[in-house]
Amino acid sequence: MTLFWVYDGEDAKTRLSSIYSLDYPEFDVVTADGTQTLLELGTHIPDDSEICVFWADDGKPVGPNFLREMVHPLTLDDDDASSALPDMHLWSGNALAMTCGTFYDVGNDDFVFKMSSFMKMALRFLDASYNLRGRKAQVTFSSMERLAPMCAEPVGLPS
């Protein structure tokens, strides 16, 4: 799994350290600075990566299983063998997961991934997926409360 991470908060080094401690077996983090295009970011996806996650991180807390929860809807469980998998998983707290195949099919171009363009990117993927595949994209949505711990402070980047 490859995590494309753009951060808007204090102490990026400490936050990145906490990301590496999340409960997920093996993943690569590609730090985006808000100037790279999707084409440029795509060159950092290792050949063995099956899923990519784009996260516009505003520093609010996430649970230790955040990455597992982001990837889970895109993977097939033995119990769900007859179910169709979604093309994308959109978390309302600024993360979008998709298979690398979907990324290469619909997103590998000059769009710039940055904090302020996260929802534009998600909508763009939906539109491009329809144009390319001739069908509506199947998307799973998760609320902030599902993937972030309950706390007194708001979670996620306000729109």
Residue 130 falls inside a structural domain: yes
User: Between the ranges 57-61, 83-87, 113-117, 123-127, where is the mean pLDDT highest?
Assistant: 57-61
The pLDDT score that the predictor gives to residue 80 is 55
CATH number of residue 98's parent domain: 3.90.550.10
| Statement: residue 20 has pLDDT above 70 | yes
pLDDT(88) > 50: yes
**Mean pLDDT confidence for 83-95:** 78
Residues 90-146 pLDDT 10s = 887 688 998 888 888 777 678 888 887 777 877 777 777 767 766 666 677 676 544
Fill in the amino acid letter for 59.
G
**Is residue 152 one of the residues assigned to a domain?**
no
Please state which of the ranges 64-68, 78-82, 100-104 shows the lowest mean pLDDT.
78-82
* Residues 153, 108: Cα–Cα separation, whole Å: 36
Check: pTM over 0.85? Answer yes or no. no
Q: Looking at residue 45, what is its pLDDT?
A: 94
Would you say 29 and 20 are in contact if contact means Cβ atoms under 8 Å apart?
A: yes
Cα separation, 66 vs 80, whole angstroms: 21
In this structure, is residue 158 part of a structural domain? no
Domain count, the chain: 1
Q: Is 155 part of any domain?
A: no
Assigned token pair, 53: 């996650």
For residue 101, tell me if it sits in a domain: yes
Distances (CA, A) of 119 to 23, 56, 63, 79, 132: 26, 10, 22, 32, 20
Residue 103 domain-assigned?
yes
Q: Per the domain annotation, does 153 fall within a domain?
A: no
Tell me the residue range of the domain where 6 lies: 2-147
